[in-house]
Amino acid sequence: MRRHDTYFFCLSILLLHNTSTNVDALACNWGTQASHPIPPNIVVKLLRDNGFNKVKLFEADPGALRALGKSGIQVMVGIPNDLLATMASTVTAAELWVQQNVSQYISKYGTDIRHVAVGNEPFLKTYKDRFVRSTYPALKNVQAALVKAGLGRQVKVTVPLNADVYDSGDGLPSSGDFRSDIKTLMVSIVRFLADSVSPITFNIYPFLSLNADPNFPREYAFFPGGGGGGGGAKPVVDGSISYTNVFDANFDTLVSALEKNGFDANKVEIIVGEVGWPTDGDINATPAMAQRFNQGLLNRIVRGQGTPRRKTAPEVYIFSLVDEDIKSVDPGKFERHWGIFSYDGSVKYPLSLGNGRRLVPAKGVRYQAREWCVLSPQAAGNGGSWTSSADYACQLADCTSLGPGSSCAALDSAANASYAFNMYFQKMDHRRGACVFDNLGFVTKIDPSRGSCRFPIEIDTSRHETLRPPPPPPRSSGATGIKWRTVAAAAMAVGWAVFN
Distances (CA, A) of 118 to 159, 167, 319, 429, 451: 5, 23, 18, 36, 43
59, 121, 259, 315: the catalytic one is 121
Alpha carbon dihedral 184, 186, 187, 188, in 10-degree steps, equals 90
The DSSP call for residue 484 is P
Task: Name the 3-class secondary structure at 228.
Answer: coil
Cβ(497)–Cβ(210) under 8 Å?
no
Cβ(31)–Cβ(10) under 8 Å?
yes
**By C-alpha distance, which of 350, 339, 362, 334 is closest to 211?**
334
Interatomic CA distance for residues 245 and 296, integer angstroms: 11
User: With 0-12 CB in 10 A as exposed, 13-18 as middle and 19+ as buried, what is 466?
Assistant: exposed
Determine whether 335 is an active site residue.
no
Determine whether 274 is an active site residue.
yes
Please name the amino acid found at residue 299: N
The DSSP call for residue 459 is B
Q: Which neighbouring-strand residues pair with 444?
A: 372
How is the chain split among helix, strand and coil, in percent rounded to 5?
35, 20, 50
Cβ(220)–Cβ(245) under 8 Å?
yes
Cβ(253)–Cβ(496) under 8 Å?
yes
Q: Is the dihedral of CA 199, 164, 208, 121 positive or negative?
A: positive
Residue 230: phi and psi, rounded to 5, are 155, -175
User: With 0-12 CB in 10 A as exposed, 13-18 as middle and 19+ as buried, what is 153?
Assistant: exposed
Cβ(286)–Cβ(292) under 8 Å?
no
User: With 0-12 CB in 10 A as exposed, 13-18 as middle and 19+ as buried, what is 386?
Assistant: buried
Q: Mention every residue, 6+ apart, whose C-beta is less than 8 A from residue 447.
A: 370, 372, 455
Interatomic CA distance for residues 286 and 288, integer angstroms: 5
59, 259, 274, 458: the catalytic one is 274
Helix H or strand E encompassing 78: strand 74-79
Interatomic CA distance for residues 270 and 291, integer angstroms: 25
- Provide the total of helices (H) and of strands (E) in the chain, helices listed first: 13, 20
**By C-alpha distance, which of 127, 31, 142 is closest to 84?**
142
Distances (CA, A) of 299 to 22, 229, 293, 302, 315: 10, 12, 10, 5, 14
Q: How far is CA 332 from the centre of its chain?
A: 13
Which residues are known to be catalytic?
121, 274
